[in-house]
Every structure is written in structure tokens, then in C-alpha cells.
Chain A
Amino acid sequence: MSKFRKEGKKEMPGVSTASLPDIVFMLLFFFMVTTVMRETTLFVNVTTPKATEIKKLKKKSLVSYIYIGSPIKRLQAAYGSAPRIQLNDAFASVDEIQEFIATEREARHEQEIPYMTTSIKADETAKMGIITDVKQELRKANALKINYSTRKGTY
């Protein structure tokens, strides 16, 4: 008999689960920190067009969103299917954009205002008429930094 051979059957040691809570907590904190809750419910269908020359939108807290698209199915009976503008949680008309930009500005610090961006999330089937109107209002409101929201890809 060799000196090192152990007597009897070898048993597999059980994997220690003592550190499992730590691992889970670590993951939990990671997701808690990175998570961004969706703050608006979309009332319009938006499929953004595809583009290749895209840039990432930084500083989400400084971005205001304008959604343009046809109302979702549930609301089409009441609002029709023509593209509409959605600001925050409600449909809006073009004239309300200046007011919207003003409220968005009030919520930010004064130093941050020049860095504010307006992201236009418009459906690819929308006509330029409505988008031009929005752009004109943004010019009037002096919110000149805009971003046409797009997906990555080519046609």
C-alpha cells in the first residue's frame, strides 16, 4: 500500500455557497447603478430610420425628447393615424414646443443649458412637413443642438 493512498471511497467536497450572496449583491448593485427607468409611455409608433454616421448621445440627463409618429393602435380611433407630436406624456401641438423647451431648461442648472440637446425621435414614414415645423419652433426657442435619433444599419 502506498503511503499516500487514502483509505475508503473519496468523497467530492461540496461547493461552498457561502459567497453566493456576495456575488449576487455585487450584480445587484451593478444593475441598480446602471439602470435607467423608462419615464415616458409612448403614445406614438416610432421606428427610427437607419443610418451609419451615428454618434452616441451622451449625458442623458441633458437630453429632451420629442416623439413624432402615428398614434398607437389603441388611440387611433380617437386621434386618427396622422403623425402627431408627443412631448412628455401627452400629445402636443407644434406651438407647445417652445413652452416645453422652457420647462426643460428650468429644470436644469444655468451652466448646463448650452449643453442641452433635443433628440428628435421620429418615425421613418413621417413627412418632413411636421419635422420642419418642429425644427422651426426649436430655432425660435433657441434650442439649436439637435439629434436625429437613428438606428445603426443600412438600407
Chain B
Amino acid sequence: MASKRRSLPEINAGSMADIAFLLLIFFLVTTTMDQDTGIARKLPPMPEEEMQEDDSQIHAKNIYVVLINAHNQLLVEGELMDISQLKDGAKKFINNNGVNPNSSENPEKAIISLQNDRGTEYMTYIRVQNELAAAYTDLRNNASFKKFGETYAALNKTQQKEIKKMYPQKISEAEPKNIGGNE
């Protein structure tokens, strides 16, 4: 005789794996693992009305002028230059330490001034930014090797700060000009 209380039929879990697989495949397809990468920069705040121009205190020899025109050509310190030479040029300028009287006094005072045209291609602009950043990375790496025997990235926070103080990355961007015409 059957018992009065009917036993609950067990749920068949055999298809669980199939369901899980289905979901898994869905998430596998929709997932995006790519991490966004880029060059981080900080924009200067908008100048206030009565702010005094104190550029006069910076000696012209401490400024490394990089101009990019609408044809993506570079004029560095008054001379035409290819992008491939920019990194070495910038390094030489920053690390001058007063050797050349027309170049920077020391790395802390060195400023790179970047100005582009409205017609400059974004690609060229990024390449220039990249080369300048690479110049600083190289110099910082050299300094950290000399001082701590490791690359800049491997240092701890306080050591990095020290190196950063030796080679502060000062890239100033002037308001762009519209000489090249177009747009």
C-alpha cells in the first residue's frame, strides 16, 4: 500500500550543466576584457581675470619651445626637426644642467612649451606628447638606477616622489593658433 503522504518528486538536475553552459557562453561573448589605456594629462585651470602674468620670471633659456604646424611639421627651438629626434632633443635639453648657456639651467627649471595649430593632426599631437613623456621616463629611469638601482616603476612611493622632484614633468600648452587655415 502506498503511503498517505506523497513524496515530492525530485527535480532532475541533469540539465543544470546545460543551463549553466548556456549562461556561460552568453557572458563569454558579451564580456570585454580590454582595459582602457591612455596618456594621462592635467589641464590647467581657466585663468582668472586679474591674474598677473608671471612668465617674465622664467628665463627664455629654460623653455624648450615645440611648435607643430598644420602640416604636422615640428619646429623645435627655432629649427625644423623630425619627431624621431624629439626624444633625444628633449632629454639633452632637460639634462643640460647649465653646460650649454642657451639651454636649461637644471631639470627642475626646465619647461617644455608645446603649441600646435588647429589643423595639426591628432595623431601627430599624441606622438609628440608621447615622445616628451618618453624623454621624462628615460631620465627618471636613469636617475632611479643611479640612486636606487631599480627602474622608476619598481620604486616605492617615497622614492618615486624623490625622483619626481628631480625631474618634474613640466609640459605647458599654449593656446593653439589658427595659421594653417582649414576648419
Contact = CB atoms under 8 A, between A and B. Distances in A.
Interface of A: 17, 20-21, 24-25, 27-28, 31-32, 34-38, 48-49, 51-57, 60, 63, 117, 119, 122-132, 135, 138-140, 142, 144-152, 155
Contacts of A57: 35-38
A interface majority secondary structure:
mixed
Contacts of A119: 36, 38
Contacts of B117: 128
Contacts of B42: 144-146
Contacts of B129: 51, 148
Interface in B105-155: 116-123, 125-127, 129-130, 133-134, 137
8 contacts: A38-B32, A53-B39, A56-B36, A123-B122, A124-B123, A129-B176, A139-B46, A146-B41
A16 B137 CA distance: 55
Interface stretch (B23-31, B56-64, B90-98, B160-168): B23-31
Interface stretch (B2-10, B13-21, B73-81): B13-21
B1 interface: no
B101 interface: no
Interface residues of B, number: 45
B134 to A, nearest CB: 5
Nearest to B42: A144
B interface majority secondary structure:
mixed
Contact of B120 (A17, A48, A127, A149): A127
A148 B126 contact: yes
A55 B121 CA distance: 22
A21 B24 CA distance: 11
Interface of B: 13, 16-17, 20-21, 23-24, 27-28, 30-33, 35-46, 116-123, 125-127, 129-130, 133-134, 137, 176, 178, 182-183
A31 B45 CA distance: 41
Given A124-B126, A155-B127, A149 B32 contact: no
Contacts of B127: 49, 51, 155
Contacts of B40: 55, 117, 145-147
Contact of B126 (A38, A142, A150): A150
Given A117-B40, A124-B123, A145-B42, 4 more contacts: A35-B27, A54-B37, A63-B36, A128-B116
B4 to A, nearest CB: 34
Contact of B125 (A48, A117, A128, A145): A128
B37 A24 contact: no
Contacts of A32: 23, 27
A122 B39 contact: no
B120 to A, nearest CB: 4
